[in-house]
Amino acid sequence: MSALGLYNYEIVIVLMMTGFYVVIRSPNLVKKIVGLNIFQTSVFILYISMGKVADGTAPIVEEGARAYSNPLPHVLILTAIVVGVATTALGLALVVRIREAYGSVDEEAIQKQDRVG
């Protein structure tokens, strides 16, 4: 396979590492959630890429189509996207509550408050 053939997977790795880095390094709780989203999205692309069959069309039975793409990974990822949305919503709801309780969304500022109190 040529280098261009792996283009999707290269993007997956770049996105995965970007998201992972943001989750680990950013002290801002909202940005961490954004990083988590990028990380999850990279996995969605990984699944969608593997469903592609060379020269395949959309998996709908029609005249003249010889190969179809695999629809299963797409369906799986629909479920995973729903899970991702739920996680994001819950995470952001927690951040709202944390902001109410501490008046900050900065990890270090929050830890400092707890150490004093």
Partner 1 sequence: MSAENLPILQVIVPLLAAPVCLLLRNGTLAWALATAVGWFTLYAALTLLGSVPEGGLIRYDLGGWEPPWGIEYIVDRLDAYVLVIVAAIGALVLTYARASVAREIQRSQHAAFYAAMLLCFAGLLGIVITGDAFNLFVFLEISSLSSYALISLGRDRRALTASYQYLIMGTLGATFILIGVGLLYMLTGTLNMLDLAARIPELEGNRTAIAAAAFLVVGICLKIALFPLHLWLPDAYTYAPSVVTAFLAGTATKVAVYVLLRFLFTVFGFDAPLNEWVGTLLIALALAGVLVASLVAIFQDDVKRIFAYSSVAQIGYIVLGIGFASVTGLTATLVHLFNHAVMKAVLFLALGAVVYRVGGARLADMRGLGRSMPLTMAALVAGGLSLIGVPLTAGFISKWYLVLAALEAGWWPIAVLVLVGSLLAVIYVWRVVETVYMQPRAAGATEVKEVPWHMLLPIWVLVAANVWFGIDTDLTVGTASGIAAELLGK
The site for partner 1 (CB under 8 A) is made up of 20, 23, 29, 32, 36, 39-40, 43, 46-47, 50, 73, 76, 79-80, 83, 86-87, 90-91, 94-95, 97-98, 101-102, 110, 114
Contact 19, 40 (CB under 8 A): yes
CB nearer to partner 1: give 58 or 101.
Answer: 101
CB nearer to partner 1: give 63 or 114.
Answer: 114
Helix (H, G, I), strand (E, B), or coil: what is residue 1?
coil
Nearest to 8 by CA among 51, 69, 70: 51
CB nearer to partner 1: give 20 or 68.
Answer: 20
Q: How far apart are CA 74 and CA 94, in angstroms?
A: 30
